[in-house]
A and B are shown apart, each in its own frame.
Chain A
Amino acid sequence: MAEATHPLPEYAVLGARIPRIDAAAFVTGQARFATDLSVPGMLHCQLRYSEQAPARITGIDVSAARQLPGVEAVLTAADVPGMPRTGMGFVARSLFARETARTVADVVAAVAAIDEATARRAVELIDVTYEDLPGAFSLDDARRQDAPLVHPETASLPVVPWLQRWTVRDQGNVVTHFRVRKGDTAAARPRAAVVVQDRFRTQRMEHFSMEPHGAVVNYDAATDRVTLWSSTGKPFRTITQLAELLQLPTNRVTAVYVPAGGDFGGKGEVTIEPYCALLSKKTGRPVKGVYSREEEFFAATCKTPFDIDMALGAERDGALVFIDAGLWLDTGAYNSMSAMVSVYASVLVEGPYNVSNVSVDARCVFTHNVMSGSFRGFGSPQVAFARESLIDEAAKALSLDPVEIRLRNGWRPGAVTCTGQVLSPDRHSVTVCETIRAAAEASGWEARRADARTPSGTDGRKRRGIGIATAHHGLGGPAVAGVDTATAFVKANPDGTVTVISAAADVGQGIDTALSQIVAEALGLPRAAIAIGIKSTDAVPEDYGASASRTMYSVGNAVRAGALDLRQKLVGVAARMLEADPQDVDCAQGKLFVRGAPGRALAIAEVVHHAMRGEGEQPIGVGRHRGRAVPMNAEARGELQTFEYSTQVAEVEVDLDTGDVRVLRLVNAQEIGRAVNPLIVEGQMEGGMVMGLGFALLEEVVCRDGQVLNPYAFDYRIPRAEDAPELVTVMLQHRDPIGPYGAKGVGEICMDPTAAAIANAVADAIGTRVTSLPITPEKVLRALRERRAP
């Protein structure tokens, strides 16, 4: 690991490479995930899906299921009057299919029984009859004039407020159209010395969180309240959706935080929770539901597949003249998060480059496929794949080095983004070129590039290649819809310890550890004196959840502000106790003391005691983060909170006979602002790179006629230990002016350019380009064959 050269102040706790505070619970098996929980009297929920789709449902017979011993309740559309719908974009998803099943994930019935096996048998006893309907299963099919409409009532389908300005109502299954316009691409096109263009495709990818979606839900009739323990990474989003569906106010639905076994953007929408809640209401007993791995693939969301038509023009010296892109997103039948993905991806099409002319048209298309949605990277890896591929093609046409062309165009302070955001160093670090230089240096770019493409392998049938790609990530996705906000409380306890009350959801990123380091730093306390309070949606302030790379930046900022507020309060009390000027009182090493007079010191416990018993007020710090973002307007003008950058270099070896691609090395030079805990940051970077490798080479949820063909771990390949290449991480720490102690999000940008870098390395190795992901051995062999056949 290389250290940044940027001068940083020394901190006692901040920046310390310490293990996770909660690690022991996981290695001993004591950590209790939602799917590990059981409560007395608990029933088990199983869902019956429509096995045909699209189809008209002509009959649902649950009588045999209801009569099975051990079955406590069976619910169908008939049991839910009014049938509320949910969705984060279009509000289109009903709990139960009544007359029409649009996808094979549409739920026909929900069963609660005394155990899983009984519930499963009951589900199999439900008799459903269908009439087939014509379907539209691909972007091309769904866009046709005569395509069957996924929602015949498209014109009246409800949409969340922020999306209304980009909704189209008269183009069949094409339901949103988001435009970015900067300059005039048509006028600029003739000025380009070289224009490169292609159609790129990215696949449906499964989050494959190791923990499936699951929850235990209890409805208490006496108080008309719902309590749930869910695998969600966005507890407030979950209770909001759940409250809507149950037609309850949100303060009657409580999510108790439990560790989530992975999220990656896949644990934001309600899944099995509402069914458990309704069944609990019906039976008066708590109900647990856990998705099978198979359900993970079709019933939960996956990464939105993109078709990308992109053209890019450059001047002779490599300066980018224009980028013109059409993005088509297959949202499945219930466009929920995909709409926001389309907006976000569009804004990132230009890359962290000065491009005077940008035109992007992004359209979401309903299909009869299972619902897609958000995934770590939120559209950035998809558009980076297309853009970075074309930048390499432009460089090749102009005989420029790939590093050189990126440096030539990388943002400098003062750059203006395609949404009109001026990048000023007092608001955000503008350090993309530093990442490009650092990646080139750490990878030994020049020497390795010269070596690449020499035959290797025992029989000379392998070729090596090296590729580079750069991407940026705009922090705080909610900025698309509004301003991001977070609030935290930091509470001093009578024994001198401190409890942090924050809404940060720990989905594996180790945020609680990092937050405790921030508080320890702000208060001058040992980290062990800080505890993270047990969280529930009742006990902590409203929060957007673990998403959009925002938790460290936004919640971290609130926590830091809360800790500093507490510090000020403690100093105030101590000053009164010591009869000193607050200006002269300091807080360090667990004590409050008068500077320069070591004898005049108080333990924090004494100060808290005095504050409470003497002055009548417990010292509690309140901290807020107010996002500085400007919500995107109808013309796509707006601002994101800050930006992260990563440049990655991939080295690959391609087997010319089998098409196998082996990644030998991945270098990630990433602008992280400030590493609150380098061990954790490194872990995020490494994990993101390997997930990016899966996106590049291995993973695809195969759908045919609306059915998922490979919903099992043995037919869907995520990276294994032996797939992981040598991983080199370079943390660049040019402090973010707003983030806590200069920190910002690291968890998405680390995988944004990975697939693009690998694709460029493969192209370097074989002299031809695969334009659809994943780059499977079969596609490599086909590309080689097509290259040979002129």
Chain B
Amino acid sequence: MQPTSDVARDLASIECRLNGRRLQAVVPVHRTLLDFLRNDLGLTGAKRACDVQVCGACTVLVDGMPVSACTYLALEVHGKTVETCEGLARDGRLHPIQQAFVDAGALQCGFCTPGMVMITRALLNDHPRPSVEVIKAYLHGNLCRCTGYKKILEAVETAARACAAEDRAAAT
């Protein structure tokens, strides 16, 4: 029998791009991405609300795909790109998704908002021109207790149009 090759770790070195910047860190392997962001990096945009991947308040994007940071190991971002809602605004200007949420009145207590913004980002990555059904399918896993969702749906639709317009402008 071949000897077992094994790399056993208590700590993991990670190198990633976080909100456009290179980041190097060493984390315990059991550190969740949410704890890493909130406690180690002070990025408290992603929230701990349900802690069981149901509510979406901790939604961040890893390589463009949405994950629940509450139940995702920080070490998994090694070699990947991470986006949180703190990284969307550029040069003091809100991202069109953020602007759409502001304008539509799509937030009340604001605790679910960072997750809502990020799931919208993920949605528009996957479906630049989403139907209402697709929007609702993406929002299925993001809970809001305040708004009744109507203005959130409006914000997502507006954001989709704004992002599409921005893409067209960038293409010409």
- For A30, the chain B residues whose CB sits under 8 A away are 45, 86
B residues 88-132 touching A (CB-CB < 8 Å): 88-89, 94, 97-99, 101-103, 105, 107-114, 117
CB pair B101–A23 under 8 Å, yes or no, is yes
Query: How far does the Cβ of A536 sit from chain B's closest Cβ, in whole Å?
Result: 20
A residues 92-118 touching B (CB-CB < 8 Å): none
Query: How far does the Cβ of B114 sit from chain A's closest Cβ, in whole Å?
Result: 5
CB pair A721–B140 under 8 Å, yes or no, is yes
> Which residue in chain A gives the minimum CB-CB distance to B51?
A293
Q: Which of B9-17, B73-81, B144-152, B161-169 contacts A (4 or more CB under 8 A)?
A: B144-152
CB pair B50–A29 under 8 Å, yes or no, is no
> Which residue in chain A gives the minimum CB-CB distance to B49?
A210
Query: How far does the Cβ of A34 sit from chain B's closest Cβ, in whole Å?
Result: 11
CB pair A211–B109 under 8 Å, yes or no, is yes
Q: How many residues of A contact B (CB 8 A)?
A: 56
Given A262-B109, A293-B50, A722-B136, A28:B86 Cβ within 8 A: yes
Partner pick for A210 among B43, B57, B105, CB 8 A cutoff: B57
Instruction: Answer yes or no: B143 CB below 8 A from chain A CBs.
Output: yes
CB pair A691–B145 under 8 Å, yes or no, is yes
Given A19-B103, A259-B109, A713-B54, A29:B44 Cβ within 8 A: yes
Pick from A27, A212, A263 the residue with the most CB of B within 10 Å. Answer: A27
Instruction: Answer yes or no: A640 CB below 8 A from chain B CBs.
Output: no
CB pair A262–B140 under 8 Å, yes or no, is no
CB pair B148–A690 under 8 Å, yes or no, is yes
Instruction: Answer yes or no: A534 CB below 8 A from chain B CBs.
Output: no
Instruction: Answer yes or no: B139 CB below 8 A from chain A CBs.
Output: yes
Q: Report the separation of the CA atoms of residues A264 and B148 in the bound assembly, to the nearest whole angstrom.
A: 14
Query: How far does the Cβ of A113 sit from chain B's closest Cβ, in whole Å?
Result: 14
- For A785, the chain B residues whose CB sits under 8 A away are none
CB pair B85–A29 under 8 Å, yes or no, is yes
CB pair B109–A29 under 8 Å, yes or no, is no
CB pair A27–B145 under 8 Å, yes or no, is no
Instruction: Answer yes or no: A662 CB below 8 A from chain B CBs.
Output: no
Instruction: Answer yes or no: A20 CB below 8 A from chain B CBs.
Output: yes
Q: Report the separation of the CA atoms of residues A23 and B147 in the bound assembly, to the nearest whole angstrom.
A: 14
CB pair B38–A36 under 8 Å, yes or no, is yes
Q: Report the separation of the CA atoms of residues A721 and B156 in the bound assembly, to the nearest whole angstrom.
A: 12
Instruction: Answer yes or no: A130 CB below 8 A from chain B CBs.
Output: no
Partner pick for B145 among A262, A292, A682, A686, CB 8 A cutoff: A262
- For B18, the chain A residues whose CB sits under 8 A away are none
Instruction: Answer yes or no: A457 CB below 8 A from chain B CBs.
Output: no
- For B67, the chain A residues whose CB sits under 8 A away are none
Q: Report the separation of the CA atoms of residues A260 and B99 in the bound assembly, to the nearest whole angstrom.
A: 22
Partner pick for A24 among B48, B52, B98, B151, CB 8 A cutoff: B98
Given A686-B151, A727-B150, A292:B51 Cβ within 8 A: yes
- For B114, the chain A residues whose CB sits under 8 A away are 26-27, 29
The interface bits of chain A over 252-274 (1 if a CB of B lies within 8 angstroms of the residue's CB, else 0) are: 00000001111110000000000
Q: Report the separation of the CA atoms of residues A507 and B6 in the bound assembly, to the nearest whole angstrom.
A: 52
Partner pick for A27 among B39, B46, B98, B108, CB 8 A cutoff: B98
Instruction: Answer yes or no: B65 CB below 8 A from chain A CBs.
Output: no
The interface bits of chain A over 517-561 (1 if a CB of B lies within 8 angstroms of the residue's CB, else 0) are: 000000000000000000000000000000000000000000000
CB pair A507–B109 under 8 Å, yes or no, is yes
CB pair A27–B85 under 8 Å, yes or no, is yes
Given A28-B45, A721-B153, A722-B140, A33:B102 Cβ within 8 A: no
CB pair A720–B103 under 8 Å, yes or no, is no
Partner pick for A724 among B38, B52, B54, B149, CB 8 A cutoff: B149
Instruction: Answer yes or no: A31 CB below 8 A from chain B CBs.
Output: yes
CB pair A680–B109 under 8 Å, yes or no, is no
CB pair B98–A721 under 8 Å, yes or no, is no
- For B137, the chain A residues whose CB sits under 8 A away are 722
- For A27, the chain B residues whose CB sits under 8 A away are 85, 94, 97-99, 101-102, 107, 113-114, 117
Partner pick for A679 among B52, B105, B139, CB 8 A cutoff: B105
Instruction: Answer yes or no: B55 CB below 8 A from chain A CBs.
Output: yes
Instruction: Answer yes or no: A32 CB below 8 A from chain B CBs.
Output: yes
Query: How far does the Cβ of A18 sit from chain B's closest Cβ, in whole Å?
Result: 9
Given A720-B143, A727-B150, A26:B107 Cβ within 8 A: yes
A residues 494-509 touching B (CB-CB < 8 Å): 507-509
Given A27-B117, A28-B94, A510-B108, A724:B150 Cβ within 8 A: yes
The 3 A-B pairs of least Cβ separation, nearest first, read A29-B45, A508-B109, A261-B111
Provide a sorted-by-A list of 13 A–B residue pairs whose CB atoms are within 8 angstroms: A20-B105, A27-B99, A28-B85, A28-B98, A38-B39, A38-B42, A210-B111, A210-B145, A212-B48, A508-B108, A682-B105, A713-B55, A714-B54
For the A-B complex with A212-B49, A507-B109 known, give 4 more contacts whose Cβ atoms are closer than 8 Å. A28-B94, A32-B44, A261-B47, A718-B145
A-contacting residues of B (Cβ < 8 Å)? 38-39, 42-52, 54-55, 57, 84-86, 88-89, 94, 97-99, 101-103, 105, 107-114, 117, 135-137, 139-140, 142-153
